[in-house]
Chains A and B, each alone.
Chain A
């Protein structure tokens, strides 16, 4: 038989490593505007081309074209642009804060700002988001005071997690933002459960779940899609394919053999693969999915095809495992630059306003940081009484925790 012989084990890897010259010409990028926009009650199978293709609205000249153009007004687009710029400035500031020893850890979302920003504006403010560590734009877009977010990073008095959580593991119930875990993928089926509860209560709020390409290999991803499909949960399931899970390429999670969005179809869930650096396309896909959910047509899986320009975290050095100029060569560009171009072409924006806006967001971040640092940073605390570590394990503290708290309290010279 042809091809028969000894067996070969396939070990996928990255296309480019340090020293390589990245060439993304292998990516099949359909032209902007080519993808049809099906009605929101379309069955999963009708999204096959969307799941294997790529929804794009912005062409190379920054012009929005095709059925997925959401038709947003200039004010809405400028708001999105400003939020993305604010998130980037926030990230830069906090990254430097880590280098200055003011926080032990930070994670940027540079290059991926459009994904969470556009989706948040496509949702309603009280829809519940089950995010990972790279959707800080949800909180920013919902108007969370930046010093509160910084307070979590500095573990000072503004930290709602009371100094217990890793930096960037936010929780903000009043802003529709579920407590981040740090364990990968666990939030994805939880989002489905929240959505099921909302449907059970005949509420109108929907859930938005988030996962990365790497973590989609976890069983939680499968369980989320099964439960979402079986119970037609009103949830938008977002998979951010930013090409990298620390040093593991998306091929290691299965992205080489198929698209992540295409997995949805086997579960009977519509799948949409969207240019994650195209603000308008992300907004349109998110709004389509949210409309589906809100009108009882069930879940949607959106694969946001983007690129992690940032290191995984402040503890990571991508120069050790990927080509240094991948981000510059990424054919889908920078989401901020692309939306700016679109606005400029539409006559609604110019370089002067853009520069002023960048200065303004940097000033906002600096002022917020001054307020946050006035309450202390990591290392000059603790800012919460260490005895509070025994709180919130249970609603009511049992005897063993009371005894342990008393034991710590009795230690001479304990830091409070």
Chain B
């Protein structure tokens, strides 16, 4: 065990895989000598060599295409897309190619690639450094989408993603890199030091994709969240005094539907929280699934707290960000029904 923040935990996951599997290689913008703008690949080139951890041309479409070709060969490339906001040039290669390669070839070829991307807001990044595009990818069959909320999960999930034989999008909430941010931006930042999820094994361990975690047990209300919103939901539960159960989905595709059903059938109420824009977002899918599968247990309409349907505005970050105040208000509304 070692104390790690999320950056260190992700670095450790890559380090473990690079050391243990010669088919793993890491590339992307600035990931080589420099170690990445968020330092996730720090020291990896020095430890594992230039041939395995290297800077790639700034062309996300090219990076993913090259990774697909490498995957078809039999390697397990890990691509860092410097910000999730920059992933769109690679959309065709991800959606039309990586996602469908196994299917269209009848299983002859597959794309065992991992695309890591720092994601989400809370750092005054404005509309090009704050987005949460998971809903664009969760809509695409053939892709898996992972969003960790803490260092321990981040490492175990990234190892699973790299070992997975299907393409995985791995979105890293960058506001959680240094500490468990609960939306109280007015308070001093908290580090992962002393947080139970900041104790991370130094060796290999895997957290299966598709298994949610119960971040907080409760009996009155289920809050479905992932990434930064897990911490916001926890804060809102404490502050409202409502006995909420917070489910950290961890992977949205594949989705742990059994954990969701079990919790909602227990509590009878459900709130969905995500930072991404609302319309057509993953929360809509969650809301529909809960309605289809738990209707007879529901005592109140399912509500969503999300980013507004606007681009992410820099100067109005905290009006946009779904913080504990908005989540708390929604909790009270669901409980009042």
Contact = CB atoms under 8 A, between A and B. Distances in A.
Contact of B25 (A191, A200, A220, A224): A200
Given A192-B69, A197-B70, A186 B92 contact: yes
B73 A181 contact: no
B107 interface: yes
A226 B254 contact: no
Interface of B: 25, 51, 56-57, 59, 61-62, 65-75, 89, 92-93, 96-97, 101-110, 141-142, 144, 164-166, 210, 253-255, 257
A16 interface: no
5 contacts: A179-B109, A189-B65, A194-B72, A227-B62, A394-B142
A340 interface: no
- 7 shortest A-B CB distances, which residue pairs? A193-B69, A223-B62, A193-B66, A189-B65, A197-B73, A179-B105, A194-B69
Nearest to A170: B105
Nearest to A163: B106
Interface in A164-179: 164-165, 169, 171-173, 178-179
Given A162-B106, A183-B92, A186-B96, A226 B57 contact: yes
A195 B89 CA distance: 22
A161 interface: yes
Contacts of A395: 102, 110, 164-166
B250 to A, nearest CB: 15
Interface in A194-221: 194-198, 200-201, 207, 219-220
Contacts of A393: 102-103, 141-142
Contacts of A198: 73
Contacts of B67: 193
B75 A223 contact: no
A394 B142 CA distance: 6
Given A161-B105, A223-B57, A393-B142, 7 more contacts: A169-B104, A186-B96, A189-B62, A193-B66, A198-B73, A220-B62, A395-B166
Interface of A: 128, 130, 159-162, 164-165, 169, 171-173, 178-179, 181, 183, 186, 188-198, 200-201, 207, 219-220, 222-224, 226-227, 230, 391-395, 398-400
B108 to A, nearest CB: 4
Contacts of A219: 61, 89
B103 to A, nearest CB: 5
A189 B61 contact: yes
B102 A394 contact: yes
A338 to B, nearest CB: 34
B93 A394 contact: no
A220 B61 contact: yes
A164 B108 CA distance: 13
A194 B104 contact: no
A360 B83 CA distance: 59
